[in-house]
Amino acid sequence: MSVKHAEVIQLKGITFAGKTDTDHWVMMDGPENFGGSNAAIRPKELLLLGLGGCTGSDVVTILQKKRVQLNSFKINISADIADEHPQVFTKIHIEYVFSGNDLQAKDLERAIELSMTKYCSVTAMLQKAVEITHSYKIEEKK
């Protein structure tokens, strides 16, 4: 079993910088009315970006192995948040948006399925605590 490390340091108020073993820094902040500078992403939002990056990397890699050519690819993520504290995500929806010529639904669906059920570690962790749904659409290149 390997171990990952993270370091988070306070810069000012609730403005923090964090890095992991890859030695890349990311800024986190909160709104000014809570002691932040409103200068960076919120920590909870990083979870959504991590989810998108994880599943997106899987899908692209799987499609490349299938020799599927994408002109563009993006992921839209929406999350419902509980009204009461700790205001956790109660539902997350991932929309995969593919652009290309002659894209086959079966290839895209299989890549998404493999990511969601086998490869994406962020999905595997989050779905233990929150419902995660997904959809996709194909935008033909014009």
Asked whether residue 47 falls in the same domain as residue 22, the answer is no
pLDDT reading at 142 higher than 80: no
Asked whether residue 98 falls in the same domain as residue 134, the answer is yes
- What pLDDT shows up at residue 141? 64
What three-state secondary structure class fits 94? strand
User: Torsion angle, CA of 100/104/106/109, rounded to 10 degrees?
Assistant: 10
Asked whether residue 60 falls in the same domain as residue 127, the answer is yes
Asked whether residue 106 falls in the same domain as residue 80, the answer is yes
Query: pLDDT tens, 110-122?
Result: 999 999 999 999 9
Count of the separate structural domains present in the chain: 2
Asked whether residue 48 falls in the same domain as residue 16, the answer is no
Asked whether residue 76 falls in the same domain as residue 87, the answer is yes
Provide the domain limits for residue 101. 43-140
Strands 25-28, 15-20: pairing kind: antiparallel
Asked whether residue 112 falls in the same domain as residue 52, the answer is yes
Query: pLDDT tens, 63-102?
Result: 999 999 999 999 999 999 999 999 999 999 999 999 999 9
